[in-house]
Amino acid sequence: MCQFLKSAIKRALRKPLLKRRIRGHLASQGGRAGLKVVFGRHWAEVPGWLLLSQDEQDITRPLEFDTGSVDAIFTEHVLEHVDFSGGVSFMREALRALKPGGVFRVVCPVTEKVLSFSPSGERDREYLLGLERYYPAEKKVLQELKVDGFGEFSQVFLLNSIYSGHGHKFIWSAALISKVLSALGYGSVRQYEIGLGAKPEYCLERRRRGIYLGADPAEDRRADYIYDAESLAVEGVK
């Protein structure tokens, strides 16, 4: 059986299961909180939100939600794992699925943060130590040449790490995401630093990335410790 046919059968079998899961989630909420969805099932359960993995809902394909049925959509460090056209398709489908006034919030590594990175504090140095672990051979050569590559040229190694590692396919800029959202028909489009947004309850992302990956979701989202050298949030309102 060809791979295309296998994938088609898999999607067909998954569809009714996902529909039942959506209905079950709505029933469990008693209609109180509306429908809020996290695509790319990260980290931990979030009360009141339906969390879907990529296996449950491929974001590059039509979303299994009725038009105008979703109050909020959130995704964190997922958009960069699909190609450009797949990302645009996801933004278009999110707009269709959202209710009027619904919010689409995407958090991902963006070129603005990467290319402006300039290590100056203890957290930056800790972040660079983590980055160096991805480049043992390069680090050895730099040491032999007496070149401070991870200090003076940290942006170069950060850019390469984000582009070539972790299964990433396309690295966006926040400006490009904003332009695409506006072109697709979202009304209000704004960029935010990590942890900030129009509605604090929609800011589900980790507050610390790269220098600390803990096991406690509450610790990861502590508002008093924000460090992310890679990411920004972009929100579009239907």
Please state the domain extents for the chain. Answer: 3-110+172-237, 112-164
Q: Is it the case that residue 142 has pLDDT exceeding 60?
A: yes
* The predicted structure's pLDDT at residue 62: 94
Of residues 218 and 35, more confidence is placed in 35
Could you give the angle at the alpha carbon of 74 between the alpha carbons of 161 and 42, nearest 5°? 55
Q: Say how far apart CA 181 and CA 151 lie, in whole Å.
A: 35
Confidence of residue 28 (pLDDT cuts 50, 70, 90): confident
- Judge contact between 211 and 127, C-beta under 8 A: yes
Is the Cβ–Cβ distance between 209 and 226 less than 8 Å? no
Categorize the per-residue pLDDT at 8 as very low, low, confident or very high, splitting at 50, 70 and 90.
Answer: very low
Q: Which two tokens stand for residue 236?
A: 């579009």
Question: C-alpha distances in angstroms, 68 versus 39, 48, 92, 94?
Answer: 17, 19, 13, 10
Closest CA to 41 of 11, 86, 76, 14: 76
Residue 214 confidence class, pLDDT cut points 50, 70, 90: low
- With a cut of 50, say whether residue 124 has pLDDT above it: yes
- The lowest-confidence range among 66-75, 79-88, 211-220 is 211-220
Is-contact 210 132, C-beta < 8 A? Answer: no
Share of the chain above pLDDT 90, in %: 58
Inform me whether the pLDDT recorded for 132 exceeds 50. yes
CATH architecture of 3-110+172-237: 3-Layer(aba) Sandwich (3.40)
* H-helix or E-strand spanning residue 145: helix 136-145
Which among 205, 228, 224 has a CA at the least distance from the CA of 105?
Answer: 205
- Give the pLDDT score at 17: 75
